[in-house]
Structure formats: structure tokens, C-alpha cells
Structure 1
Amino acid sequence: MNNKRNTSYYTERYRPQFHFSTPKGNLADPNGLVYYKNNYHLFHQKDGNWAHAVSHDLLHWNHLPLALEHDELGQALSGSIVVDKSNCSGLFNGGEGLLAFYTSTVGGEAQSLAYSTDEGVTWQRHKKNPIIENPGIKDFRDPKVLWHESTKHWVMVVSTDQTVTFYRSTNLVDWAYSSQFGMEEGLHAAVWECPDLFSLPVDGNQEEQKWVLHVSVGDNDETKGSTAQYFIGEFDGRMFHNDNDSREILITDFGQDFYAAQTFSNLYSRTIWIGWMANWRYPYQSPTSPWLGAMSFPRDSLKTNKQNQLRLVQQPILELDNIKSKRRSFEEFMVEQEPHTLDFSGTNYMLEATISWEDLREFGLRLRHGDGVETLIGVDVEYDKVFVDRTNAGMKEIIDRNGEVFPFGQRYETNYDASKGSIELCVLVDESSIEVFVQEGMTIFTSLIYTEPTNDGIEWYAENGTIIVQDLTITYLKNTWRDKSLGYDRLVTNVECVSLQEGETTKFLAKLKPDEAESQYEILWESSNKDIANIQHTNGQECLLEAVKEGEVMVSVKEICSGLSKNIKVTVHGKPTLAERIKQWF
């Protein structure tokens, strides 16, 4: 199925340009990630169904029809897929196929099985479903299945309230209980969900492996929403042993929006995972339409790193090179008292830099900067913190899933030894997200932002000291959803609709994307009714509009050469009467 329909495909406001998102409707947990017959398969939650997409490079995706839908056992909640190469299950007549393990819901959460002989396009439910009955608890879901080579058994790990439970099987249909892990281990602020279990080399040494057990932690007040944690230790095919103190909490991502991450199965030379870029405090409340939800950029080079203690390291997949466009390199510069505005504008790019300092209180860079809006990335040297701050990123509050006001604009931070005197940053910026990889992926922040597409500047600042910015490069990233174009394919504005009172004025701003096209362009502005709202002045990208009298008009924006156009709805209200003003005062 070819998704490169036309130049307007995936050009909506806030639509990710190089991250995965669904064309319309809800998107949640990644499910059943598997590499099979030269394709990456990404299934994901969509209202209790499994949606399906395929890609040859983890960048360019084709959407397929729903894979697993509701049946007589209810919803098909999160789970995993394995390739049954030797027909262990007896379901493939001596051949091979895909097995999907998922949570069904009728009669309580239980684990069920489906199988496919056509590369995941169509599925048959197993006649014995559910293959693992509910043991009498509320939360019993999200089965992750993997092959354990040492014991020659299949292993399933399932979320069981605030623990995980392990099962074993030789035929992938009949499962026996092995053990439970998690009681009094790690963070217990909410239910554990979407477990994953995989082995990784220590410092890239394939001869020294450690097991990583990963779980997401549901919505709670302690972490201001949902989060995710991991454990590093040993797994013998039956039991997991945590190498660290049971009270130690290892957070996967210090931003607010990385959840339910899963690794791809049947991918033996690499460990790659993708997470749901959202939070269970506000899962489907984003100001986007017709879609809700996106995935993180795929992360590779997952490995444990021996710097004092074993920690999980994550970096963007190497395939990122395939969508790199123009690259800008900047000479070394210093920032002292005055902010340093970079000669750059963009909303889809990768920024890499090394920053060093001696005496300093705080420094940072303001991304998606403009009109008083920005997302901060920086280091608080005085208090040894690295942070991402979206307080002024555009949307300060959101109505959460409970119908209450939640402070979306917050600062997120974690410890960083500022006595090192330097830091390395790699930042991926898309239309509505920022992913920050600190010190080659030792620390990660994933944050959604809802910043107007015309806010696209970068500014550096330093407080009470000086920083030196070295090896700064910014690489534009191509969109992965539309056919390549030599010119512009999007026209964006700072607003889509506005309300004014008679006599008020407002400024509109329009820009063409992608930013790296750099061709000359001419923008025309026009009001559909000058008697209601009249254009006072235009200056290329800018337009000054005056509200004249009560009514509604459309202000059209058009670029001559490309033919791209957009309309801004303007509603003009009459001036309030004296009685109305008195009522407002009291």
C-alpha cells in the first residue's frame, strides 16, 4: 500500500515528519514488533485492536489494514510476536509463520494466541484461547515472548499488578509458571505494564552479557504521570535476579513522553526498540487532528555501559543517515552575558554539539524559539542537573484523561556531574517533539511540544559565566511520508484561527517548508471581506490585520510559484457595551 498520495499527505499542524504516526484515530502501545522476510512490522494499539504497518528501513512506513480486532473474547490488548521457524506450535503444517501473543479481556485479562501464514496480514485465533487463564487478579496483561537459548525454552513475561510473572513453554501453546519478580524492587508508584526482556553486551563486548528487564509504570502523582524503569541482572530462563540494590530506581527516559517501549524480535544482530511518545496522564488529549499519538524515533545501540555502574545506553538508529539533508557546521563560539542567536531556522533537524565551561551557574539552548516561545535544554551547574524545560513551549496546560487541568508545561531534570566541565548533546527535533540524547545516550529526555510551526529559531544563553560551543552541526531531516520534492511542499502559519474585537490588530506570519529548500518565494495575503477585517500592511512573510466590524472572514495566504495556500479564520466581535464592561469588572 503506497502512502505517498500527494503533497498534502501528513502536512497537518503538529504532524510528525520523520516519526511514525497513524493517519487518523488513536495510537498507543507498540505491539508485536518483529523483523520478518526483510520487513520491519510495527503493530500498535488502536482502541483495543492491533493496527499494522511495515517498513524496509524503520523510516518509511506503509499502513496496512487492522490485524487483530475485537472478537468474542473482547479486546486485543498489548503483546508480542515471534517467528515460529520450526513449527514448534504445530500450526504451520511443517512450515513457519508468525505467532501473536496478546491480552484478551472477557472474563478478566488473560493471554491469548493468534497465528498468521501471510506475513501478518490476516490472523486466525487459536482454538484453546485463552492459553493462560486469569489467575484471579485485575492486572494480568501484555505478554512478551522470547526464546531462551541456554535452556532451549520459550519464555513469556507478563505484567501482574506491580510485578512481572515468568512462564515457560516448549510448544508456544502450553505454558507453565516459573517465577515472579518485582515485589519490593524498584518503583511502585502504579501498575507495571508492557514488560520486555532482552540481553545486551557490556560496553559492546559480546562475551559479557547482561539481561535487561524493562517495565512501564502507569499514571501516578509521584512521577507526575506515567514513566518507565529497567533492571539489569541475570536471567537463567526461570528467574530474574537484580544486580542492583532493590531500592535503586533506574529510569529509562527522563522526559514525560516515552512509554511501553518494545524491542523487535527475530533481529539477532541488533537490539532496536520503539516507545509510545505519550503519557497516560494525557493519552488522547493532544491538540492534533485527525490523529492522536506518535512513536518515538527508533533507538539502536542499546547496550549496558560500565561507567561506575551498569546503565542502559540508547542512541538513534544508524538509518537516520538515510534521511539527512543539508548539513550546517558552525565555528566554535563563546556565549557570555548576551544570548547568542544562531543563524538558523528549522523544525525538523538533528543538532549535535559539545559545550564546555568553567565558572558558570546555568547554560542552555532555546529551541523552537520565537514570539516568547521556546523549549529549553541545559545544565544547572550550581545544582548538578541536566534538564529539558517545556514551560514556555506553547501549550502550558492540558485537560488530562480525568477531565482535570494538568500543567503540561513543566521542567524535567536529572542528576549530572557538572564538575566535568563539559557535556555532549544530540537532539532530534520534529514538528511536535524533542528527543535529547546526553553523553552518547547515557541520559535521555523525550518530550512532546506543541509549538507553532513558525517558531523555528535557536538561541544560546549563559548565566553568571561563559560557555564555549564546539563541534556544532545541525542537519536538516527529510520527511518520510511524501515523495521527495526539489522545492517546498508545506505552507505554515503562526495561527489557524483568531478572535478579535473591533479596533484590535494582530500579526500573522507564514513560512514555507521544508526549511532547507532556500528558494526565493513570494507570499500574497487577502481578506475575504475588507469591511470586517482589513489587511493594513504586508511584508512578505508577515501580515498586519485590523478588525473593523463584527463578523467572520477568511484571510487567505498563497505562495505564487508553488501554488501552496492556506486560510486563517478570523472572527470579529463587537465592542462590549458599558453594561457588559461593568459586569466584567465585577
Structure 2
Amino acid sequence: MSLETTVSGAAPSRPAIHFTPAKGWMNDPNGLVYFDGEYHLFYQYYPDARVWGPMHWGHAVSTDLLHWQHLDTALFPDEDGMCFSGSAVVDHRDCSGLFGGEPGLIAFYTAHRVLDEATNDYIEEQCVAYSRDRGRSWQKYAGNPVIAPPGFRDFRDPKVIWHEASQHWIMALACGQSIRFYRSENLLDWTLASAFGSDQGAHTEGPWECPDLFELALEDGRRRWVLVVGVGAGKDDWGSFTQYFVGDFDGTGFHNENPADQVLLMDESRDFYAAQSWSDVTDGRRLAIAWLNNWHYANQIPESGWRGNMSLPRELALVTTAEGTRLQQRFVRELAARFEPVPLIDDGVGLAAGQSFQAPVDKGPQLGRAALSLQAGSRVEICLQQAGYADLVLSLEEAGLRLQHQRRGQNGDEKFDRFFPHDFSIGAGEGNSVTLEWVCDHGSLELLVDNGRLSLSSLSISGDGGCASLFRVTEGEVVLESLYGAAIRLPARGDRAVA
């Protein structure tokens, strides 16, 4: 199937290792929590159609972040409204009093109640639900809402964490174009502490959404706090995206260590939104996942009984760069343990203009790693996903390495055809060499550049869900220093996301 023609009839194959709903519509990940040996993944869910609708919380669990078992829908809309995004924690000491002295799961969500559809008028308030049986059933708290509407509309997506230094629970809440922080001792009674962001980072006509807040260590043992914020789609061509801030959180307020107008992107491409991290992970890792989509065309992408998928889970770290402290992302180690990439070349392969190298692997979902070095003025086209068409163009220019990311596709829908195709470039590092790590699954390409310093995540509409990687030099000389690959094949299992 040519990407220059229509894709409206394309029925996407289930991804091999990316989470998808069993049916219907899915967007934001919610309530990520680890408890009693299971990773819980909740998500915004509408089971009755394949477009956004009355929001439920879908639910799945995994023991390895690759195989997922679908569970019953956790939260349903009611007279208080839809169940919008939120978070979950383990109440280890039963400080809420909801668990009879035992540990339990407590979830925080936004009740979104429409007052007048004609004027798009609504109320949003923060609510609690809890589970006494390892997340298998959920009860909404009789005292909801735990935070009443403050007098403006966009007031949602509570992220709750335990702040050890102040011995308080903290809630980060998206409030229009800023984040408010609330404090609590019992998870039920909350007090406003501060606000951040009205003059910080990126803003569009869309609201800030889906905050996350966590602490990470640097290489030298120093620690920094990271605040992640989704930025709703504006009127420009880019759509929704995810930014982050690095600084300090003292239990009351967040303090950005970078200039107020500096924008740090968690992902440099188009389809990485509503990123959230798991709470209560016991091995010390900070694990995160995002929705692979963009609100500009989310309701128009091809579907096959379901619409929407998550990114692969990532491990997050902080690294020191010449520009300051930045996030580093790596695919979870469980992926490489399950699909260990093997060398595809014996030694470095030198390529001059007009020469190419085709990786000797079968078509289909792939995990790959490569290291390349370029002479000044060199240019190499890299085909990973779009069957013969270059997804990436890497070049060494006077200002440094540049990575051009290209995507094609159309299906006759005005929004999809306008916003889905793209062609942009970013800086890819200093010097003349760079590392690439990628996963091509049915319908998506996730790429980590420069040892995970940059992330580019993108939906991809292709005929076969992936192809063997191809490196084609068009200018200068390029050395393919190393290349590793592995085919991604999970055995069919009835309890996985790929029904």
C-alpha cells in the first residue's frame, strides 16, 4: 500500500507488544500503581464506540510490562459525571481509614459533569474511589467530591504522591494554564498550597493537563524533582504535546531551575501525550507510559474494532548535559531481556554516496539499535517503518548533527490529511556520531536518540506493520559502526491486550 494514496480502508493489526483496548476507544493512561506483584494500568475508555465518548476507567494488569491481562472496567460514569483522568497509590498505613487497618488501593479521578452541551459548559471536581481486593472491584467514596470546583472550568487530572520529607500526601492538579499543589495527611481532606506555571514553559489555546511529579537522582547522587505537563492542542499544526520542568519541590511548591521561557519536551515527535509514571514500584525504577496519539487526529486514525494504543513503558533517569539537567528515557529492561538484539553486522560498514545497507532481518515488528558516524556534509536516509520511504534523514551540518523526521499518510478526512503528515528536524547531538534505538510495531515507531536523551514517538500507517531497516547514503561518507536487531514475536495468549 502506497502512503501517497488513501489509507482509509486500512485495518490496523494489533501491535505485538503495545497495549491496546480489547474494543472501543482508549486515550490517557490513568491510575498507574504497583501492588502485590502487579503493575496496574487504568486508562480513559469508551467501550461502546471507537471515538471519544463518556469516559470510563478501563483496567489491565501485568507482571512484566509486556503481557497484559484485561480486567473488568473499574469506574463508570454516573450522575456526578464522566470519570476523567487521575492517579492511584497504595495506602500502606490506611491513613484514609478506608481499609480496616490493611493496605489498599485508592484512586483519584476527576468527575466531569456537562451542564450545557450547546455552550460547552461543565463542572469538574476531584473524587476518590478505593479497592479492598487488589483492584478487582472499586467503590466510589461516599464523601465525594474531596475537592470542590474552584469557580473555573478546567480543573482536572489529579496526580497524588507521598512526599517523604514533609510527611504529606501531595496532589498536583491541572488548573487551566497552571498546576496547583494540594496537601493532605489522610488522602481525603486537601488544602491548597501553591500554584505553578502561568508564566512558565509552553502554553497554547488548550489547557494544561495530566500532570506528574516525581524525584530522580543524578549521576553524582544529587536529586532533582521533575514536573511533567501535557499541553492541550492549539490551533497550530503540531497539536497536543508533553513538556517537563526540572527543579525542586519542597512539599509546598515547585521551583523551576531553568529560565521561565525554556521549553523542555519529553518527546520531540507528534504522538506522545498524557505521560504518567507508576507509583509504589518496589525496585527503585521510575517507569512511565504515554498515549500514542495526538488530539488533532485521534478520532480519525484507522481502526479495527478498537482505536488507540499506549507507548512502550519507559525507564526514566536524569543526565547532566551542557544545557543543564535533562530527562533520559530507555525502553524497559524487560523488553531487551525478552527480545535480546543480536549483531547484524560483524564489523563497521562504511558507506559512500549511492550505497546502502539492508539489515538481514524479516519484515514485521522489530527492536533495533545502531551507532553511526558521519563525515562533514554527509547525509543518510534511514527506512524503519514506512516500507521503502525514509522515516529519518541524519546529516552532519556545520552546526552539528541534524535528524529529519518524515511521515506520510492520508485517509480522506480533512483533519487527518492536514495534521497527520509531517516533516521536521531537530538537533541530534554534538560531534559526528550518534546512537539510535527503536521499536517498530504494528502502527507505531518509537525512537530513542543519543542514548535516550531524545525521544521521538510516532504513529505510522503502513501496510505490513514494519520493515527491515535500510540505511541509504545520499551524500558524503557514513560508517555504520554497529547494528543490532530482533524480531518481536510474543506467543498468542488469551489474557493479553492482543486478543
Per the normalisation by structure 1, the TM-score is: 0.76
User: How many Å separate the matches in 2 of 1:478 and 1:155?
Assistant: 41
User: How many Å separate the matches in 2 of 1:166 and 1:73?
Assistant: 24
CA deviation digits over 1:171-196, x for unaligned, max 9? 10000000000011000113110000
Letter of the 1:166 partner, please give it.
Answer: F
2:72 counterpart of 1:57: no
Residues 436, 451 of structure 2: 8 Å contact kept: yes
Residues 113, 129 of structure 1: 8 Å contact kept: yes
Q: Tell me which residue corresponds to 2:130.
A: 115
Over 3 Å counting, the alpha-carbon distance change for 1:174 and 1:308 in structure 2 is same
Corresponding residue SS for 1:319: helix
Match of 2:262 among 248, 254, 266: 248
Deviation of 1:303 after TM superposition, in Å, equals 2.5
Q: Tell me which residue corresponds to 1:18.
A: 17
Residues 285, 398 of structure 1: 8 Å contact kept: no
Q: Tell me which residue corresponds to 1:311.
A: 326
Over 3 Å counting, the alpha-carbon distance change for 1:385 and 1:471 in structure 2 is closer
Over 3 Å counting, the alpha-carbon distance change for 1:121 and 1:446 in structure 2 is same
User: How many Å separate the matches in 2 of 1:275 and 1:128?
Assistant: 31
Q: Tell me which residue corresponds to 1:156.
A: 171
Residues 378, 477 of structure 2: 8 Å contact kept: no
Residues 196, 263 of structure 1: 8 Å contact kept: yes
Match of 1:460 among 433, 456, 471: 471
Q: Tell me which residue corresponds to 2:30.
A: 31
Letter of the 2:27 partner, please give it.
Answer: A
Q: Tell me which residue corresponds to 1:239.
A: 253
Q: For 1:84-483, what aligned pairs fall within 5 Å after superposition?
A: 84-106=91-113, 108-189=123-204, 190-203=206-219, 205=220, 207-222=221-236, 224-268=238-282, 269-324=284-339, 327-331=342-346, 332-342=348-358, 343-368=360-385, 370=387, 372-379=388-395, 381=397, 384=400, 386-392=402-408, 395-396=409-410, 399=413, 405-417=417-429, 420-453=431-464, 456-479=467-490, 481-482=492-493
Residues 30, 276 of structure 1: 8 Å contact kept: yes
Corresponding residue SS for 2:82: coil
Residues 181, 192 of structure 2: 8 Å contact kept: yes
Residues 362, 382 of structure 1: 8 Å contact kept: no
Residues 373, 451 of structure 1: 8 Å contact kept: no
Residues 97, 115 of structure 1: 8 Å contact kept: yes
User: How many Å separate the matches in 2 of 1:246 and 1:480?
Assistant: 48
Residues 82, 98 of structure 1: 8 Å contact kept: yes
Letter of the 1:75 partner, please give it.
Answer: M
Q: Tell me which residue corresponds to 1:547.
A: none
Letter of the 1:421 partner, please give it.
Answer: N
User: How many Å separate the matches in 2 of 1:226 and 1:385?
Assistant: 26
| Gapped regions of structure 2 (runs ≥ 5) | 1-10, 47-54, 114-121
Corresponding residue SS for 2:436: strand
User: How many Å separate the matches in 1 of 2:208 and 2:478?
Assistant: 42
Residues 385, 413 of structure 1: 8 Å contact kept: no
Query: Which has the bigger relative contact order, CA under 8 A and spacing at least 6?
Result: 2
User: How many Å separate the matches in 2 of 1:115 and 1:85?
Assistant: 13
Over 3 Å counting, the alpha-carbon distance change for 1:480 and 1:216 in structure 2 is farther
Q: Percent identity?
A: 36
Which one has the largest radius of gyration?
1
Over 3 Å counting, the alpha-carbon distance change for 1:223 and 1:172 in structure 2 is farther
Corresponding residue SS for 2:222: strand
CA deviation digits over 1:97-122, x for unaligned, max 9? 11110000226001000111011111
Over 3 Å counting, the alpha-carbon distance change for 1:398 and 1:177 in structure 2 is farther
User: How many Å separate the matches in 1 of 2:23 and 2:307?
Assistant: 7
Q: For 1:558-573, what aligned pairs fall within 5 Å after superposition?
A: none
Letter of the 1:244 partner, please give it.
Answer: N
Corresponding residue SS for 1:330: coil
Residues 18, 481 of structure 1: 8 Å contact kept: no
Residues 428, 434 of structure 1: 8 Å contact kept: yes
Per the normalisation by structure 2, the TM-score is: 0.89
Deviation of 1:386 after TM superposition, in Å, equals 3.5
Letter of the 2:92 partner, please give it.
Answer: K
Deviation of 1:387 after TM superposition, in Å, equals 3.0
User: How many Å separate the matches in 1 of 2:459 and 2:404?
Assistant: 11
